[in-house]
Amino acid sequence: MKKFVPKSKFLVVGMLCVSSLALAQTEPDDIALAEDDFQEAYYESLKQKGIENYDKAIVSLEKCLRLQPGNAVIYHELGKNYFFQKNYIEAENMLTKATQLEPGNKWYWIDLYEVYYETKNFNQGILTLQKIIPLDKNYKEDLLALYMYTRQYDKALVLLNELDDLYGKTEVRDRYRLDINTQAGNNSVGKNDLEKAIELNPLIEENYISLIYKYSDNNQEEKAKQVALKMEQNIPNSEWAQVFLFKYHINDNKGNEALSSLEKVLNGRKIDKKIKFRMFNEFLIFTVKNPSFEEHLKKVITYFESDPEVNVYKELGKFYYKRKNWNQAIQSLEKSFATNNNDLETNIFLMASYEEVLNFDAMLKKASELVDTYPNQPEYYYFAGKASLKLKNFKKATDFLETGIDYVVDNTALEADFCLALAEAFKNSGNATKGAEYETRANNLKKK
């Protein structure tokens, strides 16, 4: 949900002046004095607010209010200061008063909306947005988000259609529409109604999507598949048709068709990247069972390379690891490591891959770096100790392993691995007694 943060508003001196009517019976010197007192107090409040001294700002604003009790600007400023103090009750009271005095000032309504948003009073937030929208139509998207959050799907759908007609479709609104179709289910609309709607207007994607979900929910996958195929036929550029068809092609073991659907979705702009990444993972799983498609992975992976939120090389590295293609696994996992070295699963797969190819120098180097960076993570001590052990540096091995085992919590298998490695390290160092102790401890842990 978009959260709007209003910009600072600077007020011209004219807004602060007392009306001539209010001062009609006052002497000129008194008027000037009152104006001076007012402006001095007002600017003092701005100064105190600027240094986040909201208590003093409120004191100055209360002085302003005594001098001009009907000034909406002062109520607005009081509301903002109370908001910054997280005194939301008083903030609401002051801002409500400001909107009553000047209902045409959108900033007063916007700041009142901020109070309701912050306190999660979404029903009042909706009522406030309905006051804002005639003054600023940009807030229709916020209203749509609140309708979705409060599950007012009928109102959301009306607003969705309006926004799509005015500004064209967006990825966020498409997700909302899908949520309406799946969560609300459009239960009042049956399969027959949707089929008729598709016949009457075959270019509306939402009807196909709703019908596919209805058939899938009833385990009528073949019928759902036929709807997806009809969707592709009637709307050739539909990316959602390819999302559904990809699943059916994978299930039917049709690799070329699945790859074609995947590439169409990846090349498009409409489908959320989380869905795209999930499809990529499904294609990876398919490729494990169908190695002939492995050559296509390098092309597919280019769609995610520049996305920092998607750890695509990690998934590719795990894929190669499961295929026992250690060198390819290392190549992919090292790319993932270079981008983000704080992912435990990536790092464990990388260390394990080094171990498989007996590259204990690289294993020790990477594990030592990780120990320095994440000193509370026991797995990194284990790999550093194991690599030192293989390189016959038994003193270093025992140092890593004895330190790391203290960080093991509720992980019997890892603790047993530490004990076995320590047993080997001490035996090779000539301390057979301590080696035997750790070996016994490992055996006891394995019995648990």
For the whole model, what pTM was predicted? 0.50
Tell me the mean pLDDT in the region 120-141.
91
Tell me the mean pLDDT in the region 125-131.
93
Element (H, E) at 358: none
Count CB-CB contacts under 10 A for residue 260. Answer: 15
Count CB-CB contacts under 10 A for residue 292. Answer: 8
Please tell me the predicted confidence (pLDDT) of residue 182.
Answer: 65
> Is 128's pLDDT higher than 90?
yes
Please tell me the predicted confidence (pLDDT) of residue 190.
Answer: 66
Instruction: State percent of the chain over pLDDT 90.
Output: 42
> Is 155's pLDDT higher than 50?
yes
* Cα(44)–Cα(57) distance, integer angstroms: 7
CA neighbours closer than 13 Å in the CB half-sphere of residue 442: 17
Three-state helix/strand/coil letters over 144-158: HHHHHHCCCHHHHHH
Q: What's the pLDDT tens digit per position in 225-254?
A: 999 999 999 999 999 999 999 999 999 999
Q: Supply 303's token pair.
A: 């769609």
* Cα(448)–Cα(376) distance, integer angstroms: 25
CA neighbours closer than 13 Å in the CB half-sphere of residue 282: 20
Please tell me the predicted confidence (pLDDT) of residue 183.
Answer: 64
**Cβ 53 vs Cβ 111: under 8 Å:** no
Higher-confidence residue of 186 and 335: namely 335
Count CB-CB contacts under 10 A for residue 42. Answer: 23
Tell me the mean pLDDT in the region 108-115.
94
Q: Angle at CA 161, nearest 5°, toward 157 and 165?
A: 170
Q: What's the pLDDT tens digit per position in 334-371?
A: 988 888 788 888 999 999 999 999 999 999 999 999 99
Tell me the mean pLDDT in the region 57-75.
91
Average pLDDT, the chain: 83
Please tell me the predicted confidence (pLDDT) of residue 8.
Answer: 32
pLDDT tier, 146 (very low <50, low <70, confident <90, very high otherwise):
very high
**Cβ 384 vs Cβ 410: under 8 Å:** no
pLDDT tier, 179 (very low <50, low <70, confident <90, very high otherwise):
confident
> Is 445's pLDDT higher than 50?
yes
Tell me the mean pLDDT in the region 393-409.
91
> Is 9's pLDDT higher than 70?
no
Q: What's the pLDDT tens digit per position in 296-309?
A: 887 888 887 777 66
DSSP 8: P
CA neighbours closer than 13 Å in the CB half-sphere of residue 432: 0
Q: Which residues contact 61 (CB under 8 A, 6 or more apart)?
A: 41, 42, 45, 74, 77, 78, 81
User: In this predicted structure, which of 4-18, 187-201, 247-261 has the lowest mean pLDDT?
Assistant: 4-18
Most confident segment among 28-42, 112-126, 184-198: 112-126
pLDDT tier, 104 (very low <50, low <70, confident <90, very high otherwise):
very high
> Is 388's pLDDT higher than 60?
yes
User: In this predicted structure, which of 3-12, 192-201, 251-260, 382-391 has the lowest mean pLDDT?
Assistant: 3-12
User: In this predicted structure, which of 59-73, 153-167, 381-395 has the lowest mean pLDDT?
Assistant: 153-167
* Cα(378)–Cα(417) distance, integer angstroms: 11
Count CB-CB contacts under 10 A for residue 321. Answer: 20
Instruction: State percent of the chain over pLDDT 70.
Output: 89
For the chain, what are the domain ranges? Answer: 237-310, 358-448
**Cβ 91 vs Cβ 76: under 8 Å:** no
The CATH number that domain 358-448 falls under is 1.25.40.10
Higher-confidence residue of 114 and 295: namely 114
Please tell me the predicted confidence (pLDDT) of residue 189.
Answer: 53
- SS3 helix, strand, coil % of the chain, rounded to 5? 75, 0, 25
User: In this predicted structure, which of 48-62, 104-118, 265-279, 368-382 has the lowest mean pLDDT?
Assistant: 265-279
* Conformation bin of residue 433: beta by default, left when phi > 0, alpha when psi is -120 to 50: alpha
**Which of 220, 194, 199, 196 shows the shortest CA–CA distance to 209?**
194
Q: Which residues contact 146 (CB under 8 A, 6 or more apart)?
A: 1, 122, 125, 126, 129
> Is 26's pLDDT higher than 60?
no
Q: Which residues of 58-82 are buried (b: 16+ CB within 10 A; e: fewer)?
A: bebbebbbebbeebbbbbbbbbbbb
> Is 108's pLDDT higher than 80?
yes
* Cα(127)–Cα(9) distance, integer angstroms: 24
Element (H, E) at 24: none
Q: Supply 342's token pair.
A: 């704080």
* Cα(230)–Cα(241) distance, integer angstroms: 9
